[in-house]
Chains A and B, each alone.
Chain A
Amino acid sequence: GAGVSQSPSNKVTEKGKDVELRCDPISGHTALYWYRQSLGQGLEFLIYFQGNSAPDKSGLPSDRFSAERTGGSVSTLTIQRTQQEDSAVYLCASSVGLAGVDEQYFGPGTRLTVT
């Protein structure tokens, strides 16, 4: 079956512009995560969605970052007024939502470059 897909795969934008990153999770997965990965390092948690519950936005680095998940499926991460420090790979993952022993399935990521 289809895995997690993300688009675009690469995005180059000018400083100050807004960008939208899209994630299509695996069908039936109720949990969805967004992470940021800089320079091939570890993953930084950004936001978590679970079903119809309020999302955990505690990892968003500033109010320029926002995310939504429509209909419990597709999610969009929006970065407003992009800065050079926003350059990174943004990864999306989905899972069935079993706390503690969940297997997260990751998409290939969106590589964002802010010039």
Chain B
Amino acid sequence: AQSVTQLGSHVSVSEGALVLLRCNYSSSVPPYLFWYVQYPNQGLQLLLKYTSAATLVKGINGFEAEFKKSETSFHLTKPSAHMSDAAEYFCAVTNNNDMRFGAGTRLTVKP
């Protein structure tokens, strides 16, 4: 069975500060990993995905994530937070059929 665990249901940062959202995965086979963002009353938008090509994955809006097999982690980072980054972020893993999501991390950006 595959699953992801997001550490921290809420993260608060100041505008311009580093954003770090944590995700650990469990999978019996090499995983496909994703980060999605959800703004209020909207669906999910893909930020980036890992499909075994490169361990450092760059996504939209300045986000990136690094796949670390030894730590079973896929943490999401952004060097400088912007007010528009405030949203709910979900880490997900798939085996090409169903996609399993974490519980989500709500990011708050303070001015």
| A joins B in a complex | no
Residues of B bordering A, CB below 8 Å = none
Residues of A bordering B, CB below 8 Å = none
